[in-house]
Amino acid sequence: MFNLINIKNNAIAQSPKPNIIYILADDLGIGDLTIYNENGKIPTPHLDKMGAEGMKFTDAHTSSAVCTPTRYGILTGRYNWRTPLKEFVTWGNSPILIKEDRLTVAKLLQDHGYQTASIGKWHLGLNWTMKNNSPDYPYFSDRTDKVDINQIDFSEPLKSGVLNLGFDYTYMIPASLNMPPFVYLENDKATMIPTQKTERKRSEYPFSSWIKGDVSDDFVHEQVLPTFVDKTISYIEENANKEKPFFIYLPLPSPHSPVLPIAPWKGKSGVNEYADFVMMVDELMGDIFKTLKEQGIEENTLVVFTSDNGCSSTANIPLLKKKGHNPSYIYSGLKGSYLEGGHRVPFLVKWPEKIKPNTVCNATVCTTDFMATIADLIDYKLKDNEGEDSYSMLPLLTQNGAYKREATIHHDKLGVFAIRKGDWKLIVSPNSGVDAAGKPAKQKKTLPEYILYNLKTDVKEHHNIAAKHPDKVRALKDLLIQQIKEGRSTPGAIQNNDPISSPWPQAEFAFH
């Protein structure tokens, strides 16, 4: 019997490494999937099926309530506010935010025998090659958030980009579909040089932001999402059942504005164009899932589907609610907010070989946890300066072992902090936010310095009970200060946050 057990254990240890696909929707609310929202008005059968065949997380959070910071956290396992990006996002012409000496999930997997690909919306800055000796900047900083877009040399490869961060193959756009330049980059070089200018006014797209800037001939905004899905399907077909497993990071450009559903989805929902766009996302995800099955690799492929933050106001929230649909489900707030609707997101994981179907997980998890999960999966011990804010979710996925996250730090568009531990959530200094230009943001009304919610009894965050629980306020604030100052929220040696030259208003409270 002993020998049989050893043989079985060895067989498990030597089983093939899983393929891994991480799909990141853009501005998709937790209430936009009917698997989360019993009153939802947007049919999402393919993603609902994915959740039913795997694990649905009910208390999953992005590390920020806006795009770029969450992406940084997913790929590095580190909170973005430890970098010079203290609020808001990068731009299409911003220098790269992730430094080459920073371990990424892609680099970790590449070093452990994986073929790696990034297909989709990057939005983490790039080190462009510049014309005419124009200044270029190797990394994003609080002093240098953009380069002159007119001086970018699109005929030359990037000086450093996604290939330098652990990806073997890339096909991407620099940032959002409302942020120029509008070009595809394949393996860190533009597929075509932009030769035209495009401008679409808000009146043409009442639920969207404007589109204005340099565009290449092969770039059609409405076709970007289908193009990325087609590229992903081709990549799967080319790399399925090869000696090396693959990792695909697929950050979608949708349903972020501009909201651009195409036939046959346009008008299909009967709700509005945003709902049409969500239906389009769902069906294209179904095409990816179908490909995995056709290639015979579905069983041993780990697929994660989530969103980078909550739904945006550009979805025309009043109309959605009039039609009976709330993209934030029962939660308050939208994209950009420290309230739950800003960062509590759909989070579905499917891995038939390891995850039991119809499993629901109520643990509080964060998108930064991907790094430690992957490290655990491939039996790699993270160093002290790697994945400082990442906890392995593998025990949750396999239902074997303990998930060790003590608390989660939330961060809003303006840089305001909140911290969550158990049922308690503390929002600190909500009046001290700054706008995108680094100027103090004007609040519609002055808020209390501390806002405390018990999410077990007040999940809609309507009742501030800070005055009733001063000990809880102090304990949560002290924990927040500790995790800011120590440069990490996981056990390990103290690390430094990246230096900046300008004042950091949101951290002032932590050092006085």
> By the 8 A CB rule, do 278 and 148 touch?
no
Instruction: Tell me if 358 is assigned to some domain.
Output: yes
> By the 8 A CB rule, do 259 and 207 touch?
yes
Instruction: Tell me if 434 is assigned to some domain.
Output: yes
Cβ-proximal residues to 230 (8 Å cutoff; 6+ apart), any chain: none
Task: Match 């303990």 to its residue by tokens.
Answer: 402
Instruction: Tell me if 7 is assigned to some domain.
Output: no
Q: How many structural domains is the chain composed of?
A: 2
Last residue of a domain, one of 380, 398, 416: 398
Q: If we measure between CA atoms, which residue out of 110, 120, 125 comes closest to residue 20?
A: 110
What pLDDT score does 438 carry? 52
In terms of domains, do 238 and 307 share one? Answer: yes
Last residue of a domain, one of 398, 418, 439: 398
What pLDDT score does 2 carry? 36
pTM: 0.94
In terms of domains, do 21 and 145 share one? Answer: yes
Instruction: Tell me if 9 is assigned to some domain.
Output: no
Last residue of a domain, one of 398, 431, 449: 398
CA 303 to CA 307: how far, in whole Å?
Answer: 14
In terms of domains, do 391 and 414 share one? Answer: no
In terms of domains, do 209 and 263 share one? Answer: yes
What pLDDT score does 136 carry? 84
In terms of domains, do 288 and 339 share one? Answer: yes
Q: Any idea what the CATH number is for the domain that residue 478 is in?
A: 3.30.1120.10
In terms of domains, do 377 and 433 share one? Answer: no
> By the 8 A CB rule, do 399 and 356 touch?
yes
CA 141 to CA 501: how far, in whole Å?
Answer: 9
Q: Strand ranges (DSSP E) for 37-114?
A: 55-61
In terms of domains, do 337 and 467 share one? Answer: no
In terms of domains, do 126 and 206 share one? Answer: yes
CA 321 to CA 331: how far, in whole Å?
Answer: 13
Q: If we measure between CA atoms, which residue out of 309, 489, 482 comes closest to residue 407?
A: 489
In terms of domains, do 360 and 335 share one? Answer: yes
In terms of domains, do 386 and 428 share one? Answer: no
- pLDDT means per 10 residues, the chain with 512 residues, are 40 70 98 98 98 98 97 98 94 96 98 98 97 89 89 96 98 96 98 88 53 92 97 98 96 95 96 97 98 98 98 94 98 96 98 97 98 98 98 96 96 94 95 61 80 98 98 97 96 94 58 38
Q: Any idea what the CATH number is for the domain that residue 250 is in?
A: 3.40.720.10
**Residue-number span of the structural domain to which 321 is assigned:** 17-398
Task: Sort strands 246-251 and 115-121 into parallel, antiparallel or unpaired.
Answer: parallel
Cβ-proximal residues to 410 (8 Å cutoff; 6+ apart), any chain: 61, 63, 64, 65, 338, 342, 343, 417, 418, 419, 420, 425
Task: Match 């929230």 to its residue by tokens.
Answer: 317
Instruction: Tell me if 4 is assigned to some domain.
Output: no
Q: Strand ranges (DSSP E) for 182-257?
A: 185-186, 189-190, 196-200, 211-215, 246-251
What pLDDT score does 503 carry? 66
Instruction: Tell me if 24 is assigned to some domain.
Output: yes
Instruction: Tell me if 220 is assigned to some domain.
Output: yes
What pLDDT score does 202 carry? 54
Instruction: Tell me if 486 is assigned to some domain.
Output: yes
What pLDDT score does 237 carry? 98
> By the 8 A CB rule, do 188 and 215 touch?
no
In terms of domains, do 287 and 379 share one? Answer: yes
In terms of domains, do 442 and 332 share one? Answer: no
CA 50 to CA 282: how far, in whole Å?
Answer: 11
